[in-house]
Amino acid sequence: MTDETKPITPEIVNDEEEKTESGLVEQNVKPDILYLVPITGRPHLPAQVQPLIVDKKRWEETLRKASRDSKNFLGLSYLSEVKGKYVYQKDFPKVGCVVRMINITDVEGHIQFIAQGLERFKIKRFLSDKPPFVVEVEYFEKMEEDEDKLKAYAISIISSIKTLLSLNPLYSEELRQYLGRFSPDQPSPLTDFAAGITTASGPDLQEILEIESVIERMKKVLMLLQKEIEIAKLQTKIQKDLNTQVDDNKRKFFLKEQLKAIQKELGMQKDDKTNDVDKFKAKFEMLDPPEHVVERFEEEIEKLSVLETGSSEYGVTRNYLDWITSFPWGTYSEDNIDITRAEEILERDHAGLSDVKERIIEFFAAGVYKRDISGSIILFVGPPGVGKTSIGKSIAEALGRKFYRFSLGGMRDEAEIKGHRRTYVGALPGKMVQALKDTKVANPVIMLDEVDKIGASYQGDPASALLEALDPEQNSEFLDHYLDLRVDLSKVLFICTANTLDTIPAPLLDRMDRINLSGYITAEKMEIARKHLWPRLLKRNNLTNSIITITDPTIQYLIEGYAREAGVRGLEKLLNKIIRKSIVTILKEKKKKIRINIKSLEGYLGSPFFTKEKQMKGVGIVTGLAWTSMGGATLSIEAVKVHGKNSGFKLTGKLGDVMQESAAISLSHVRANSKAFGIAEDYFDNAFIHIHVPEGATPKDGPSAGVTITTALVSLATGKAIKRPLAMTGEITLTGDVLPVGGIKEKIIASRRIGINEIILPHGCKSEFKKLPDHIKEGITFHFAKRYKDVYEIVFKP
């Protein structure tokens, strides 16, 4: 197999040897037996002379035998495509072209020769059906045709070729001279030559090769030439249009430059530098900057006016001036401080959180009284999904201020807060300056999300960089490293959010006014789902309540069985999952309405994740209450006597250092007061005690388990079990004092969730307890203990 660009070849046959051995072959000799080689790309036509390259490995034997046996005559057959690795007899067309091989040479694994086209041939039969292919051939007989027609077509072809040559510059002068060798008296070679110079496809040229009638052949070639002429004309037009457009652009460019020069000479136009200076001055005049900013601006403007526009310093100074003139110096939005309106917005956007709303309204009221809301940095602390960020947006709306939010989670570079110095390439101001620029006022509400998740690295400590920005006594002169100017942040209302306080540095926490957001109880979650989550999800999916409905008992079952977390983010995901699966059902079953009930809920979500918690009961088992970053939780504590051989003490349940100390204090207090608790004096002398807190894979720590552990030890030693639903929290001292603990609201919500209706709290938590909403305390009996003796009497005495 061959092609014109990368063909295949035989061994080297020297042309000089052929001359000496065989003599020159006459042009009019027509061999009946030919060796056959296939070519791809385009067929070879008589009157064509062009080089060919063939693969030496595959066709060397064929070319060697053709040189020796056929006096350098070779048959070329065109194959439009070659399927597979080999060529077979059935692949060859019936008509090919006899060529004479000239200057056969070996070129790096290929054989190259010049193929001089001589005559068309038709294959009569194959003498060899595998390489080297040998065929018996016959030639076209000359047909009697109208000489005048032949001459007329020949003249048309010559005229068309000349037209094509004049249109297409790709045809060289040598080709024009070659055309001069053909005349109207040689119609067949002229036709083949004309066909060869076109860009016609291989099958079209093969069709011309197979036509016996010269006149029919000429008609076909004239059509191809006309097509080439049309393409050449279109190409010429495109090139002309392109050149015209380029020339027009050049002309316009030079005219504009001349116009600029004339206008500049007449004082009618300013250059780019003057434009920049005037633009910055105009922007700066619209602001109300302090004196030190005016001085810096004038210095930078003077510097800009003497710098070259192409210098790097010009770009740096220009960017700096752009930031100074874009910063809202002295621009403040007017506060719309209306207590009633603020209450309406908070009630509209948030269900529950009555204590939080009350604290925000107090903050607004103070602002109304002094006619200025500033000086406070609010910190919302609570579990994920309780609405910390959305409350910040509601506050901004209630005040009528612009709102800007960015997250501090994972921030490790202090330059994000205080900006880069202008010595760095690509330096930018910090987030504080960017926030004021984006909001276009100097008193927006800026929310700093995830303030408890700031990182620290070799690039600095962003938490420390926040100290200046969040200190009401310092932020009136906040210094941004990029601007290198004092910026007044005292009018900005900062709202921060965090899940926990443990990772917030104490100096930063000291600057914030903390508001705790506890988890929601089931009733609050139901209201949020019904009023906010479900309508929003339906609207997002282009649905209405008439298409998909969900009953209140179903929402309650969903909350208690699948979404017990403190926030409502998990609840929203589950509701969205229900809607997605409902849409699938609507599309598949062609339903027009779906009603979600408790029975169908498990079909959408599977079995409930949570079953109703049961209070562990028995001797030595007491239910405690704990606070976690996800909300409140119940914590059962078990105490057992392993054996009575020797005194000992063992703790399990992945307890932290604080809880281990609480357990040791509890044991010491019980042993020291065993008589008062009705415990045999020698009970602990030989008892090996094991205390365990279930869910051993979960780390537990905190100063609120002392009372619970002490009660478990007393229950074990006296053999008295707590038979009623009862939970407790509080820390204990060696002398028996009950110390106050935090997270009271979360702990009460956790006990309510599992149905405990009696709780013991430290007496020191009474003031915090009184602030709790009534609906959280409703239906629960509370006891307050100053000393452990009070706890003992509540638990063990009838």
Chain CA centroid to CA 213, Å: 68
Q: How far, in Å, CA of 719 to CA of 715, rounded? A: 6
Of 71, 45, 53, give the one whose Cα is nearest residue 9.
Answer: 53
Find where tokens 């409902």 sit: 582
Q: Is 704 a catalytic residue?
A: yes
Q: How does DSSP classify residue 683?
A: G
Q: H-helix or E-strand containing 5? A: none
Of 653, 607, 649, 644, give the one whose Cα is nearest residue 626.
Answer: 653
Quick one: angle between helices 312-326 and 272-285, nearest 10? 20
Of 28, 45, 56, 369, give the one whose Cα is nearest residue 191.
Answer: 45
**Catalytic-labelled residue, pool 402, 491, 700, 747:** 747
Please say whether the beta carbons of 494 and 470 come within 8 A: yes
Quick one: angle between helices 291-306 and 272-285, nearest 10? 170
Q: Which residues contact 456 (CB under 8 A, 6 or more apart)?
A: 412, 462, 463
Dihedral pair phi/psi, residue 33, rounded to 5° = -115, 130
Between strands 485-487 and 478-480, the pairing is: antiparallel
Q: Which residues contact 244 (CB under 8 A, 6 or more apart)?
A: none
Q: How does DSSP classify residue 181?
A: T
DSSP sequence for 80-109: S---SSS--GGGS-SEEEEEEEEEEEEETT
Q: How many other C-beta atoms can be found within 10 angstroms of the C-beta atom of residue 109?
A: 10
Find where tokens 């006891």 sit: 783
Residue 724 is encoded by which pair of tokens? 């009623």
Residue 401 is encoded by which pair of tokens? 């201020």
Q: H-helix or E-strand containing 728? A: strand 727-728
Q: How many other C-beta atoms can be found within 10 angstroms of the C-beta atom of residue 551?
A: 13
DSSP sequence for 219-276: HHHHHHHHHHHHHHHHHHHHHHHHHHHHHHHHHHHHHHHHHHHHHHHTTS---HHHHH
Q: How many other C-beta atoms can be found within 10 angstroms of the C-beta atom of residue 580?
A: 12
Q: How far, in Å, CA of 402 to CA of 692, rounded? A: 53
Q: 132 preceded by cis ω (within 30°)?
A: yes
Residue 164 is encoded by which pair of tokens? 């094509």
Partners of residue 626 on adjacent β-strands: 633
Dihedral pair phi/psi, residue 55, rounded to 5° = -70, 125
For CA atoms 748, 752, 756, 758, give the dihedral sign: positive
Q: Quote the Cα angle for 375-381-385, to 5°.
A: 125
592-625 b/e (C-beta count within 10 Å ≥ 16 → b): eebebeeebbeebbeeeeeeeeebeeebbbbbbb
Chain CA centroid to CA 411, Å: 19
**Catalytic-labelled residue, pool 67, 636, 662, 704:** 704
Of 254, 321, 325, give the one whose Cα is nearest residue 289.
Answer: 325
Chain CA centroid to CA 279, Å: 38
Q: How does DSSP classify residue 619?
A: B
Q: How far, in Å, CA of 781 to CA of 779, rounded? A: 7
Q: Is 766 a catalytic residue?
A: no
Catalytic sites, residue numbers = 704, 747
